[in-house]
Structure 1
């Protein structure tokens, strides 16, 4: 892993990954993507939750267009599939990922944030898909995953007109999960990571692996998988301990965490 491009700090059960190309607004080059993938792999082996953020002025301004302009159609196709592979590792990995966002979260940066399970933004954050206004098309998974978060119509508007969403609009659209005070996204991400790192592994598996697949199933198939996942999770040792703590009034009630 190239420490000049991505930093990784694992403290206890939480891994903090930072894009570290501030002079280029954390534009995602091939080398940065490779370093990110290596960091994610290690974090998934050694931690229980991941925080992804950007050093410098922003989260990420997206694809490094300087590398992209000389590629053939075949090269662009395989390059796009490489992005899909890295972001799929985040989205379908063993542990939850939280994006802590400030400044630009644009193009490929938005696709990276969209691969995370929770997105936290401060008021400086803005979100855009400028590929359409540049005569190109998204290639890191936005057409599937960002569109599912914000809806096809809103994504089409962003691509056709270049519209950017601020943090408040992104929260209303379902793209951002939490909005913090200025500079507060990393601290909020830390707080959330500490919570999810304590979750029972079978519950985490259900949320990360079963829940997305259920969305693509028929109603009856989805409900069947839900019941199977419930049977697995609720008979595990962590669930038994958690239920006992609740019944014995040793656990916080909903809304008190």
Structure 2
């Protein structure tokens, strides 16, 4: 069963969510704007994430309609915001990227076409990224005098290291799927047209695993990036002790 959120005009786009067994498939559907992430589309994504299809799933796949993951944020909309409006934005629809990252179940991004700016920030909020071999990545924000601010700078730095992140963000240059895999931005490159199929296969693997073990391991992976060595080891052991008291 699937449903589609409403509330905007056809040009605003929508986000559909459907269940495929234990997997929830979320699709950005604004192809005429290359799935640009307007505040409307971000709100639709928040609604999709809070739907029963997602909350009752064992794994989540996010993709884009029309052969494009997302070409970025809706810059014309953001340009009109005052500093106060921007602060309010990050407390509302702009916080959806962290909602994705905080999902208890594994999230897989199936990337085709453009994955730029806010689109790449959304993909980086997923746990696993699988790209079509013709996918194009990049953070173009520096070219218009801003920076990736929905987790982009933070997550790309943790993903590829400070030196590589500086090269990508400060130059705003685009890179392809082969480079993305070599640098660890994506975990796998699929043949043309196969990214979604492979993402669903990976999500199916997750759906067969113990849900609590996956959730705890996600949190330890995330927190270990900020914790000291001793703190990270303690997190591992506490999580293990908690899981060892449960029935698989």
TM-score (norm 1): 0.88
Alignment of 1:115-126 (within 5 A): 115-126=125-136
Cα deviation, 1:82-101, whole Å, max 9, x if unaligned, reads 45621112112111110000
2:42 to 33, 41, 62: 33
Deviation digits for residues 18-68 of structure 1 (CA, Å, limit 9, x no counterpart): 000000000001110001011112244221111000001310011001211
Larger radius of gyration: 1
1:157 is aligned to 167
Could you tell me how far apart the structure 2 residues matched to 1:36 and 1:117 are? Answer: 17
Q: How far did 1:141 drift?
A: 0.9
SS at 1:2 equivalent: coil
Partners of 1:82 and 1:106 in 2: CA distance = 22
* CA distance in structure 2 between the partners assigned to 1:84 and 1:223 by the alignment: 33
Which of 228-237 and 49-58 deviates more? 228-237
Give the superposition deviation at 1:171: 0.6
Instruction: Report what 1:64 is aligned to.
Output: 74
CA contact (8 A) 1:80 1:139 kept: no
| Partners of 1:115 and 1:82 in 2: CA distance | 17
In the other structure, the counterpart of 1:142 is: 152
**Alignment length, in residue pairs?**
238
| 8 A Cα contact 1:202 1:232, kept in partner | no
Note if contact 1:20-1:26 (Cα within 8 Å) is conserved in structure 2: yes
Q: Provide the rounded CA distance (Å) in 1 between the counterparts of 2:158 and 2:224.
A: 14
Unaligned ranges ≥5, structure 1: 239-257
CA distance in 1, matches of 2:153, 2:93: 13
Q: CA deviation at 1:102?
A: 0.6
1:236 and 1:87 map into 2 onto residues whose CA distance is 31
Matched, 1:207 2:214: no
Does the aligned pair in 1 maintain the 2:71–2:114 contact within 8 Å? yes
Q: Structure 2 stretches of 5 or more lacking a match?
A: 8-12
1:167 pairs with 2:187:
no
Tell me if structure 2 keeps the 8 A contact 1:119–1:175.
Answer: yes
RMSD: 1.5
TM-score (norm 2): 0.91
Specify the alignment match of 1:197 in structure 2.
Answer: 207
From the superposition, tell whether residues 18 and 60 of structure 1 become closer, same or farther in structure 2 (CA, over 3 Å).
Answer: same
Is the contact made by 1:83 and 1:139 (CA closer than 8 Å) also made in structure 2? Answer: no
